[in-house]
Structure 1
């Protein structure tokens, strides 16, 4: 594994650790501001890992990110549901 491949994986692992630590902290706004920051950082990171390792690694990383950020996705699903 070259340094060009090690850097995106290391950044993705740091993002996952940071996301898990943020979830454990108490928050007054239900972690909305932290989730927004994590999404803004995570989307380009997901593209970087997908570019470096291919679509399978991108899907695996996306599944890991969704498992951490599941509440913002559930809230977005509630907002988009027209019958809801």
Structure 2
């Protein structure tokens, strides 16, 4: 297995272990750290294995970090709808 996929698997194991630990802030601090560490790993996977494998790794990361992804989608929808409403 290549170094990039090994790092992606290690990221997934760390993310799951962090999810099992108790947290006072509903794991948001852990999510920010995992996002900051995971984005370069996804880029590294894309460089070594191509975009399709990187999309699979990204989908796995999104399934682990689903609430930050949901909030990002809500924020983007709010920004787009605000822009569309102002244009009318």
TM-score between both structures, scaled by the size of structure 1: 0.85
Give the structure with the larger helix fraction: 2
- The size of the alignment, in residue pairs, is 79
- The counterpart of 1:61, out of the listed 57, 61, 68, is 57
1:8-61 deviation digits (Å, cap 9, x = unpaired): 111110000001111111110011100000000000000000100001100100
The structural deviation recorded for 1:77 is 2.6
Q: CA RMSD in A?
A: 1.4
Q: Give runs of ≥4 in structure 1 deviating > 4 Å.
A: none
Q: In the alignment, does 2:74 pair up with 1:78?
A: yes
CA distance in 1, matches of 2:7, 2:72: 26
Q: Structure 2: where are the runs of 5+ without partners?
A: 82-88
For the residues of structure 2 that align with 1:77 and 1:9, how far apart are their CA atoms?
A: 27
| Aligned counterpart for 2:31 among listed residues 35, 52, 58 | 35
Residue of structure 2 equivalent to 1:9: 5
Of stretches 68-77 and 13-22 in structure 1, the one that deviates more from structure 2 is 68-77
Gaps of 5+ in 1: none
Structure possessing the higher radius of gyration over alpha carbons: 2
